Amino acid sequence: MKSTLQSESERAAMIVESAAMEVALASRSIPGATGAEVWRGRLDRWRERGVLERTYSRRPRKTVTKRKRRALTDLQRAKSMPPRVESGEELVRLGENVWQDRAMLSKAVEMWGAGMSSGAVRQAQCSRIGWARRCKERGHTWHHIFRCGLRFCPLCMSYVYEELFYDAVGRLDSVACRLVPEWPVKGKCPRRVIAKIDFTIRNDGQMPSAEKVRWFNRAIRRFFTRLARQNKWTKGEWGAAWSAEFGPGNTNLHAHAVFCGPWIEQKNREASALWSKVVGEYAIVSVKAARSFRHALRHAIKYPAASWKYFSASPERLASLEKAFYTVKRFHTVGAFYNPPSDPKVPPTILAPYDKCPDCGSPLEELKDPRWISLNELMRMGSKDFGGWQRQQRLLGNVSVTTGAGPP
């Protein structure tokens, strides 16, 4: 009976996934043109713009440090850096070797043309290569799938969300319980609240730059510090965390935040007035009570969980979203949520290490020729996804882990 229910749920999930992909492909299609013709047209436009002739652009370093970098072995360097290319033409060839659907490859080339070479190389190989190991006793093969970790990659946004959420819960949950011991409470205007706060600014119709997004995040930090100073809150009395985002098809920069602390007065739009002073123009802040801390935290970092919104977005749109957030911090904290001390009463949760075979428990060793391997080759080898096994165990409650599958 359980197997029947499981097979039905798997079949339903496959139907939903295929339907979403059909909608995405239909929205990208051009009537009367084949996929090969559309791809050739894209290649011609990239050549006209000089994108394919561009060389690898290294991101300029803003800070100079005297601290010596830790020397890496060749094997450690190979694990941390998947195959890299030096031109747009090489990027296209690399992507065609591992991709059947060229939508993500198109996004990678657009990122390459916008100067995000490192992210473009990661995007071209996201979810299409893996690092394999084999157990010492019985020869079971396991692999970690490479994830680009980019903000607007439809392939790994859900994994990014899980990693952000569980990491934030592990660091901030005990702090939230201390700031707001009882929630929800009965009655109006409680002394301490858990709230969802939304920040908006005027939309000028232009896609903001990364510097504009940094300014926006600094403005939110100034808002909370001024609010605390205005109400004479001490640093240990309140905490806030937020992340900025865009809608799937607009240039409306906004942010969602979780707040734990004293009551925020908004009867006469006091918070909105303060926010308007901070940004220097009329702007609105929305403050609403949350069901729980985790509910508010999901609201604050929900943009990676909404990957379905971006299935129909064009590669150009996805690349422009990546450009706006390139080198910008994802998740921000202030007050008691900033660098909280670890709670000695709460034992740290540790990710199951990638060193023992889940089937037989014997040590996992590197292959004779350690390298990144395409998924097609991994499937022919009979390799199993170690990150997928970890995620399954966490959902079943068999192990206590806080983050998604990291690098091998």
pLDDT in tens, 295-323: 999 999 887 666 666 777 888 988 998 99
Residue 267, domain member (yes or no): yes
Residue 325, domain member (yes or no): yes
- Work out the number of other CB atoms within 10 angstroms of the CB of residue 358: 16
* Domain end marker among 335, 355, 387: 335
* Domain end marker among 335, 362, 397: 335
- Number of domain units in the chain: 2
Could you tell me which of 378, 315, 313, 325 has the C-alpha nearest to residue 141?
378
> Residue 248 — pLDDT band, cuts 50, 70, 90?
low
* Domain end marker among 83, 106, 125: 125
* Same domain (yes/no): 113, 165: no
At residue 386, the 3 state secondary structure works out as: helix
The span from the CA of 151 to the CA of 160, in Å, is 8
Residue 249, domain member (yes or no): yes
* Same domain (yes/no): 121, 170: no
Higher-scoring residue by pLDDT: 346, 242? 242
Structural domain for 119, as ranges: 37-55+75-125
Residue 2, domain member (yes or no): no
Strand partners, 138: none
Domain with 216 in it: what CATH number?
3.30.70
For residue 24, give every residue at least 6 positions away whose Cβ sits within 8 Å of its Cβ, in sequence order, or none.
Answer: 103, 311, 312
Residue 378, domain member (yes or no): no
Average pLDDT over residues 203-216: 91
* Same domain (yes/no): 118, 259: no
**Of the candidate ranges 49-53, 182-186, 246-250, the one whose mean pLDDT is the lowest:** 246-250
* Same domain (yes/no): 208, 319: yes
Structure tokens at 189: 């205007």
* Same domain (yes/no): 178, 115: no
Structure tokens at 161: 């969300």
Residue 231, domain member (yes or no): yes
pLDDT (tens digit, 9 = 90+) per residue, 63-109?
545 566 666 676 776 777 788 899 999 999 988 887 667 888 999 99
Asked if pLDDT for residue 20 goes beyond 50, the answer is no
* Same domain (yes/no): 215, 305: yes
* Mean confidence (pLDDT) of the chain: 81
* Cα–Cα distance list, 346 to 175, 176, 238, 338 (Å): 12, 14, 21, 18
The span from the CA of 3 to the CA of 81, in Å, is 41
Look at the pTM and tell me if it is higher than 0.85. Answer: no
